């Protein structure tokens, strides 16, 4: 496993993944948007307003998934002192924060006409907001120490503690009364969403995942380059 700990080997893997992920986004993004905005039928209750879920649901899934990436990277960095794991976690954090913000924002825009309110302090919305703050806290802790290594360690511990929030987000709609509806797709008894809407949604989810991989690779390359500059004694501008 430590064979991948050198920037050179790691960089080669990144180079191998990147073109495929980028090609996937370029091909599937127009297809997914076309399926979501044109092919998918309007919902029987919400009409065309339901189409916001093709952005909202993939964002929310990515918000959780990216946190898992960040927390796994942090754990590997803490236990095995794996430098590439640390960089992957740090590269993922702002992306996760952005996906969380997008999920909160699109949910709010949908909530106003459908629920009658922009925001309500129910368990799902509140736990999602906490996830957003966890991302921001992770990023802030990284910068809060003069010694970057101490900052990285403190942030990694915060990321680990925050993992407990993931099952709370997922099951909040089952454990408590919430305004947010229960799961439509990952639920016992199969999806409660018609296939004509499920397929566009899954395509959009794939587009979001590939997009994340693309930007993650770019951000890792950036952090690796910054590290090299720092080791050469060049100040970060």
Q: Which residues bind other proteins (CB under 8 A)?
A: 41-46, 50, 53, 75, 78-80, 113-117, 120-123, 157, 160-165, 168, 175-179, 181-184, 187, 192-194, 196-197
- Whichever of 3 and 237 has its CB closer to other proteins, that residue is 3
- Whichever of 142 and 153 has its CB closer to other proteins, that residue is 153
- Whichever of 19 and 42 has its CB closer to other proteins, that residue is 42
CA distance 105 to 10: 35
SS3 163: coil
Q: Residue 93, class by beta-carbon neighbours within 10 Å (0-12 exposed, 13-18 middle, 19+ buried)?
A: buried
Shortest CB 42 distance to other proteins, Å? 7
Phi, psi of 2 (to 5 degrees): -75, -5
Torsion angle of C-alpha atoms 22, 67, 180, 114, degrees rounded to 10: -40
Shortest CB 91 distance to other proteins, Å? 21
Shortest CB 20 distance to other proteins, Å? 31
Per the CB < 8 A criterion, the answer to whether 64 and 96 are in contact is: no
- Whichever of 31 and 183 has its CB closer to other proteins, that residue is 183
Token pair listed for 173: 């709609």
Shortest CB 185 distance to other proteins, Å? 9
Shortest CB 194 distance to other proteins, Å? 4
Token pair listed for 33: 């948007």
- Whichever of 46 and 108 has its CB closer to other proteins, that residue is 46
């Amino acid at each position: 496993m430590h064979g991948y700990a050198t920037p050179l080997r790691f960089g080669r893997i990144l180079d191998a993944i990147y073109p495929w992920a980028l090609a996937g986004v370029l091909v599937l993004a127009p297809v997914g948007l076309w399926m979501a905005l044109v092919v998918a039928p309007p919902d029987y209750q919400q009409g065309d307003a339901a189409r916001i879920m093709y952005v909202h649901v993939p964002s929310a899934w990515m918000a959780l998934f990216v946190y898992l990436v960040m927390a796994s990277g942090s754990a590997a960095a803490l236990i095995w002192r794996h430098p590439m794991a640390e960089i992957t976690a740090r590269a993922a954090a702002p992306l996760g924060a952005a996906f969380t913000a997008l999920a909160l924002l699109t949910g709010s825009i949908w909530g106003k006409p459908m629920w009658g309110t922009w925001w309500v302090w129910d368990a799902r919305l509140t736990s999602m907001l906490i996830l957003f703050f966890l991302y921001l806290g992770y990023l802030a802790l990284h910068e809060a120490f003069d010694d970057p290594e101490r900052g990285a360690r403190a942030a990694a511990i915060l990321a680990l503690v925050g993992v407990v929030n993931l099952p709370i987000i997922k099951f909040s709609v089952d454990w408590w009364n919430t305004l947010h509806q229960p799961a439509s797709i990952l639920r016992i008894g199969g999806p409660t969403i018609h296939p004509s809407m499920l397929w566009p949604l899954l395509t959009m989810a794939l587009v979001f995942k590939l997009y994340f991989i693309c930007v993650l690779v770019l951000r890792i390359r950036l952090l690796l380059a910054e590290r090299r500059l720092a080791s050469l004694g060049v100040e970060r501008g």
